[in-house]
Chain A
Amino acid sequence: MNLYEALRMAANGLLANRTRSALTMLGILIGVTAVILLVAVGNGASVQINNQVQSLGANVIYVYPANARGSGGVSQGFGTAQSLTQADVDALNTRQQDPDVVAAIPIAQSGGQITYGNQNYFAPTTGTTPAFPQVRNYQVAEGSFFTDDDVTARHRVVVLGQTVVDNLFAGTDPIGQTIKISRQSFRVIGVFAQKGGSGLGSQDNVVVAPITAVWAYLTGARGKVISQIVASASSAGTVTQAETEITTILLNRHQISDPTQADFQLQSQQDILNQATSIATALTLVLGAIAGISLVVGGIGIMNIMLVTVTERTREIGIRKAIGARRRDILVQFLIEAMVLSGLGGALGIAMEAPKIPAIASSSFPTPVVSPTSVVLAFCVSVAIGLFFGIYPANRAARLHPIEALRYE
């Protein structure tokens, strides 16, 4: 029996009970639709998270102080030691044999009420050096960033993120205006271009000033504390080498021979990206699994209908056996029928998928990303489901005894 004949028989069998076939297909159709759609949404979320993390700079490496240990070795928490100094930053910037580190900047964080006229707003103030835009991947949209001279002279100048501008300056040009941070006056010399992105802490909610000015006027008694060093590798691919180089330089400078005793810790954007990616992958998997359940339910529907079909057509099976059909012939006939049912349902599900994507894209969901592999996979899986759930009914048909099947009313 060739494939053409088998397909013809399957079509005949399915057309005999149109409504029933259509409803059974609907089960698979919904399953396939759900799989493709939910996986697309999961992928979309994954891409969005990725983009957001990338916008922070994919080649960025953070150096934090290690957890300080109190008496008895009790950890006082992440980054509580004060082991990073400006000298460390300088060492990283004047390195000889670390071609993979492009620039390193110190960061001193300070919180504080920001006021302008009668407006007030809260944003963290970051003290740093002129390499900040390069390392953290910011563009200055208006005005300019501060210079080395500003740092040396402890000039009280700031560059603002878009969110801060929106909250303090309703329509007026912020450049040249003076704002107050913790009652200290600072002059606005530049505004960053919008970076976008939400969740994960907006990157537009920033106030950046020379680190010396922050130390002198804002951190007060705490002195010249560097809460972290941010370094950038030459590219995303060299992050690992750059991390090794930074570790070597800092261990040398801090005179620590055992790397496990280091008084600092590194985290690359890649690490954050990996974490985010693994979360997004888990999300996609969970969504896919939920959708997969509906596919399995559809498969059980097929098995159910195929069992009914086999019972209904017992006599036909008897006739076919009497005129010479072997077990295999009957098995193949019903298997193909089940596979056509599920494959067609899968194909229709894919066809009905296309118009839905833009509708979802326009809603507040992350833009769904349909991967061609998931479409091909969904189709193959739907056919495989027909095969899997068709085996039991088809086998039952193939095993029928011809005489009993012929007598069946």
Chain B
Amino acid sequence: MITLEGVTKTYRMGRIEVPALQGIDLYIGRGDFVAIMGASGSGKSTLMNIIGCLDVPTSGRYILDDTDVARLADDQLARIRNKKIGFVFQSYNLIPRTTALHNVEMPLIYAGEGGRSARAREALVSVGLADRVNHQPTELSGGQQQRAAIARALVTNPAILLADEPTGNLDTNSSVEIMRLLTRLNAEQSRTIVLITHEQDIARFASRVVELRDGRIVRDERSAA
């Protein structure tokens, strides 16, 4: 489903070239729950940006659902992000002064799909926010905001849920709640989840752990559970 072959990414900082990824080969199948780990500067953010179609690799191939997305133009990438990828960010990234419902509707608006309100409501119910539908982000706790963000990521029924340090800003209780929600989505709906984290405790919820160091994969193992 997700296949990366020899993916490299090099940033240019003035006259110096900084290699962020140096040849990544990775396959993630449907229903997988993968945690990508690594210290800061290991290239995990770059890898997430590429998997999330926010950026394209310098070289190598990235096949997502039979499409080679490595060479697509901006608007085509936007389309793929809209249809196939659900983002969950560390800082929730809900749009301010906009109700949870409208936030969740947003991807459907850009997709130009109908029945938005009902589908958005359904997604909010599925993450346990049925009673917070008309609240604005500032009226929600961190855990609730992150759940609204997860509802927004799910509403277009994407192929992958891409979670970048989803618990980074949360306390332990909320973190566990969010991770249980992700685990449940993975188990019940066979959602493919790619989780990026540097915390061992959080990575433990995933069924497979990939570790990066200096732009290379140094560990790729399935947990016993």
Q: Interface residues, chain A, CB within 8 Å of chain B?
A: 1, 5, 12, 15-16, 315-316, 318-329, 402-403, 406
Q: Is the CB of B110 within 8 A of A322?
A: no
Q: Mark B58-98, 1 if CB is under 8 A from A, else 0.
A: 00000000000000001100110111000101000111111
Inter-subunit contact B78/A321 (CB<8 Å) = yes
B79 touches A5 (CB 8 A): no
Asked if A320 contacts B106 (CB within 8 A), the reply is yes
Instruction: Report yes or no: B93 in contact with A319, Cβ–Cβ below 8 A.
Output: yes
> Closest Cβ of chain A: how far from B179's Cβ, in Å?
22
- Please, could you name 24 A-B residue pairs with CB atoms under 8 Å apart, sorted by A? A1-B109, A1-B112, A12-B98, A15-B97, A16-B96, A16-B97, A315-B93, A318-B93, A319-B93, A319-B94, A320-B95, A320-B106, A322-B54, A322-B93, A323-B107, A324-B79, A324-B83, A324-B111, A326-B79, A327-B74, A327-B75, A327-B78, A403-B55, A406-B89
Are the C-beta atoms of B78 and A325 separated by less than 8 Å?
yes
B96 and A316: CB pair below 8 A?
A: yes
Q: What's the nearest-Cβ distance from chain B to residue A13, in Å? A: 9
Report yes or no: A326 in contact with B75, Cβ–Cβ below 8 A. Answer: yes
How distant is the Cα of A294 from the Cα of B195 in the complex, in angstroms?
A: 55
In the bound complex, residues from chain A placing their C-beta under 8 Å from that of B156 are 324
When chains A and B are docked, how far (Å) is the Cα of A326 from the Cα of B111? 10
Contact in complex: A324, B81 (CB < 8 Å): yes
Q: How far, in Å, is B40 (CB) from chain A's closest CB?
A: 14
Q: Which residues of chain B have C-beta atoms less than 8 A from A406's C-beta?
A: 54, 89, 93
Interface residues of B (CB under 8 A from A): 49, 52, 54-55, 74-75, 78-79, 81-83, 87, 89, 93-98, 106-107, 109-112, 152, 156
CB neighbours (8 Å) of A5 from chain B are 109
Residue in A closest to B86 when the chains form the complex, CB atoms? A323
Question: Residue on B with the closest CB to A13?
Answer: B97
**Nearest-CB residue, chain A, relative to B92:** A319
How many Å from the CB of A297 to the closest CB on chain B? 30
Residues of B within 8 A of A326 (CB): 74-75, 78-79, 110
In whole angstroms, how far apart are the Cα atoms of A61 and B112 in the complex?
Answer: 70
- Given A1-B112, A12-B97, A316-B95, A322–B87 Cβ distance below 8 Å? yes
Determine if A402 and B107 form an interchain contact, defined as CB atoms under 8 angstroms apart: no
**Most chain B CB within a 10 A radius of its CB, from A320, A322, A329, A406:** A322
Shortest CB-to-CB span from B97 to chain A, Å, is: 5
| CB within 8 Å for A329 and B110 given contacts A323-B81, A324-B81 | yes
Report the Cα distance A329→B87, complex, angstroms: 19
- Which residues from chain A contact B49 at a C-beta distance below 8 Å? 403
Bound-state Cα–Cα, A1 to B112, Å: 6
- Residues from chain A with Cβ under 8 Å of B97 in the complex: 12, 15-16
For the residues of A in contact with B, the DSSP-based class is helix
Q: Is the CB of B96 within 8 A of A324?
A: no
Among A324, A402, A403, find the residue whose CB has the most chain B CB atoms closer than 10 A. Answer: A324
Q: Which residue of B lies closest to A399 (CB)?
A: B74
Tell me whether A323 and B75 are in contact (CB under 8 A).
Answer: no
A318, A323, A327: the one within 8 Å of B82 (CB)? A323
Whether A323 touches B98, Cβ cut-off 8 Å, given contacts A315-B93, A328-B75, A403-B55, is: no
Kindly state the separation between the CA atoms of A328 and B79 in the bound complex, as whole angstroms.
12
Chain A residues contacting B107 (CB-CB under 8 Å) are 323-324
> Which residue of A has the minimal Cβ distance to B164?
A406
Chain A's closest residue to B81 (CB) is A324
B153, chain A: closest CB distance, angstroms: 8
Residue on B nearest A329 in the bound complex, by CB = B110
Residue on A nearest B116 in the bound complex, by CB: A5
Q: Most A CB atoms within 10 A — which of B78, B94, B95?
A: B78
Q: Find out whether the CB atom of B152 lies under 8 angstroms from the CB atom of A323.
A: yes
CA distance A1 to B109 in the complex (A): 6
Say yes or no: A324 contacts B54, CB within 8 Å. Answer: no
**Known A315-B93, A327-B75, A328-B75; contact A322-B109, beta-carbon cutoff 8 A:** no
Per the bound structure, the CA–CA distance linking A361 and B193 in Å amounts to 73
- Listed from nearest, the 9 A-B pairs whose CB atoms lie closest are A324-B82, A324-B110, A326-B78, A326-B75, A323-B107, A319-B93, A402-B54, A325-B110, A324-B81
How far is it, in angstroms, between the C-alpha of A12 and the C-alpha of B103 when the chains are bound?
13
The distance in angstroms between the C-alpha atoms of A323 and B110, with both chains bound, is 8
In the bound complex, residues from chain B placing their C-beta under 8 Å from that of A1 are 109-110, 112
Write the chain B residue with the least CB distance to A316.
B95
B81–A322 touching, CB < 8 Å: yes
B residues within 8 A CB of A327?
A: 74-75, 78
- The distance from the CB of B88 to the nearest CB of chain A, in whole angstroms, is 11
A402 to B55, CA, bound (A): 8
Residues of chain A within 8 A of B87, CB atoms compared: 322-323
Q: Which residues of A contact B78 (CB under 8 A)?
A: 321, 324-327
Residues of B within 8 A of A325 (CB): 78, 82, 110
* Cα-based distance from A316 to B137 in the complex (angstroms): 13
Contact of B95 among A319, A324, A329 (CB under 8 A): A319
Chain B residue at smallest Cβ distance from A319: B93
B54 contacts across to A, CB distance below 8 A? 322, 402-403, 406
Nearest chain A CB to B96's CB is how many angstroms away?
7
* Distance, CA A403 to CA B112, complexed state (A): 24
Assembled-state Cα–Cα distance A307/B87 (Å): 28
Minimum C-beta distance from B9 to chain A (A) = 12
Task: Report how far A326 CA is from B107 CA in the complex, Å.
Answer: 11
Residues of A contacting B81 with CB < 8 Å?
321-324
Query: When chains A and B are docked, how far (Å) is the Cα of A1 from the Cα of B105?
Result: 12
- Residues of B near A316 (CB, < 8 A) are 95-96
Given the complex of chains A and B, what is the CA–CA distance between A316 and B93 in angstroms? 8
- Tell me the smallest distance from the CB of A154 to a CB of chain B, in Å: 93
Chain B residues with CB under 8 Å of A318's CB are 93
Closest chain-A Cβ to B135's Cβ sits at a distance in Å of: 16
Enumerate chain B residues within 8 angstroms of A320, measured Cβ to Cβ: 95, 106, 110
